[in-house]
Chains A and B, each alone.
Chain A
């Protein structure tokens, strides 16, 4: 989970969903981005209550990604979360990174890499298609991560920051 030092700042861009995340380390920045994205789909305050209400069950998923640079790795990471929701209604609630390498740290390929275990909830069909109310429980479901304004950088004080814009 992101610690209290992680700052998530949504901003307005191109009519869609966008945020900047600043944290003390690169894995924490990626965690912040992942949580900001899943909060759009279903805020964690509501996600936590889903298993008790029978509208979903806890689950974990594994991610292993490689990309030529950190920006592409962040785009791939966000797209992986979107894919997990689109294909199996999995909404993340926490990330544990077992590996996070920048391109210059990677051996062989020169690619940035990450490996993570993702905790979350697989939503039941009823959670997706509520007809009892006039609206379902879902919030905004992003459809893709873009390279628009993408940024992953280390700040002079040693913290890390990332900016991500999602097509919704």
Chain B
């Protein structure tokens, strides 16, 4: 079903390419993709650039609609898309956020060195596999009643910390402090709550994981020092989102937004871009529900952090505190937020949709935790399970050209079917073992579908973001072991 982009692409500079708003009827702004000439050839394949142009058709879109270097085909927005809409005449769309609301990544430090961890990787991963629930099926480790789940939805990671699943310091190192204030549990359906209640503290399937990594190379020593990261240090990356609850919120509100299109006389080129004015009852209600799902995701990652800390402490016969298991940062990469950005020389509040894109705020920004404010916001970019991941740092250039945004990962190269045909799960496990990565998975297909070959090389993506200046490399990470959902 694949197509190749044949529309216009105007070169702005070495790393930016423009689809002018004259490309097709309905575009209200230009669309700009941040990539290099090689990345552009990859982006041309499939529907991603058409989807980027479609995102520029949203009412109230602020110039330009953006895509990050890991752009690839999604539903509605491309993955890697950033669309900022004006509060006064703009819309909000679930298609600009994605099904897995507040899918995100966090990185835990340890004071373990590679030499300490290497002999224990297999038993450590086996323990994480047993102790961190994948959540496939009906019951997770935390049983909530309806009133408690409402508290989770409205208080996010703060609920988890108050319930004993973390520390105040964790909240300070989580985007938004782990809670969006706009959350209103009354905007979330009973069905979404039913899906969410048993899944809190579970990883889920697909590309979600807990991965033990080592810092292979420090690339910005001054910033790494502020982030308390050093060569050969062992760290743990956690990637998951809002589970069935977030998917149900997106599903529920796609129906609401499809009805709203007619009500507000809005024309969009793709039903997955169904939307409503930000100020409308539908728009406000979706924003409140999305914030609930975002809070659920933060609580989820916080609870998983707790299981990871407990399992690691047991493995090493120690305590999380003695092992230095502090949180570097937690970023979300599927979300919409109200942020202040400079537009045409004046400061304006915008609704910034990031779908497969990460916030990358610069040094001095008030939303960056005090401990990091001097250098900028940590940006965590996972790669595939056989190759590198990165910690980057936000920049002023990102504020100026990409609404304070950068890439979120590698991006798929192969479909799941292609990946399944290319290698069996056993073959993938074997080749990972040969590369020094021990892998376990709760799903029969996940290992093959998530094989390194199925993804672009994150090194290429991060190189572009670094050279384009929308985030800068701090440390490069190498996987040692992984638990896939």
Residues in A lying within 8 Å of B, measured CB to CB: 10-18, 67-68, 71-72, 75-76, 79, 82-83, 86-89, 123, 125, 127-129, 131, 134-141, 143-150, 165, 167-168
Contact = CB atoms under 8 A, between A and B. Distances in A.
Centre residue among A86, A140, A165 by max chain B CB count within 10 A: A86
A143 B443 contact: no
Closest 9 CB pairs of A and B: A128-B137, A12-B415, A147-B271, A15-B412, A148-B75, A144-B247, A14-B73, A143-B247, A86-B244
A139 B75 contact: no
A131 B131 CA distance: 11
Interface string B398-415: 000000000000001011
A67 B416 CA distance: 30
B442 A17 contact: no
A15 B258 contact: no
Contact of A83 (B134, B195, B259, B440): B195
Given A135-B441, A139-B445, A147-B75, A15 B206 contact: no
Interface stretch (B249-257, B275-283, B300-308, B474-482): B249-257
Nearest to A16: B416
B191 interface: yes
A123 to B, nearest CB: 7
A15 B244 contact: no
A150 B417 contact: no
B389 to A, nearest CB: 19
Nearest to B273: A147
Contacts of A135: 425, 441-444, 446-447
A140 B272 contact: no
Given A13-B1, A129-B137, A141-B205, A134 B440 contact: yes
A140 B254 CA distance: 23
Interface band, chain B: 35 or more
B218 to A, nearest CB: 33
B255 A139 contact: no
Contacts of B139: 125
Interface string B57-96: 0000000000000001111100000000000000000000
A61 to B, nearest CB: 14
B36 interface: no
B248 interface: yes
Nearest to A15: B412
11 contacts: A12-B416, A15-B416, A125-B139, A128-B138, A131-B129, A134-B440, A136-B444, A138-B136, A147-B75, A167-B75, A167-B100
A147 B271 CA distance: 6
B442 A83 contact: no
Contacts of B130: 131
B136 A128 contact: yes
Contact of A144 (B137, B251, B429): B251
A146 B72 contact: no
Interface in B308-332: none
Contacts of A127: 137
B75 A14 contact: yes
Contact of A168 (B195, B206, B258, B271): B206
Contacts of A13: 1, 73, 415
Interface in B335-392: none
Given A12-B1, A140-B205, A147-B271, 4 more contacts: A135-B441, A137-B444, A143-B100, A144-B247
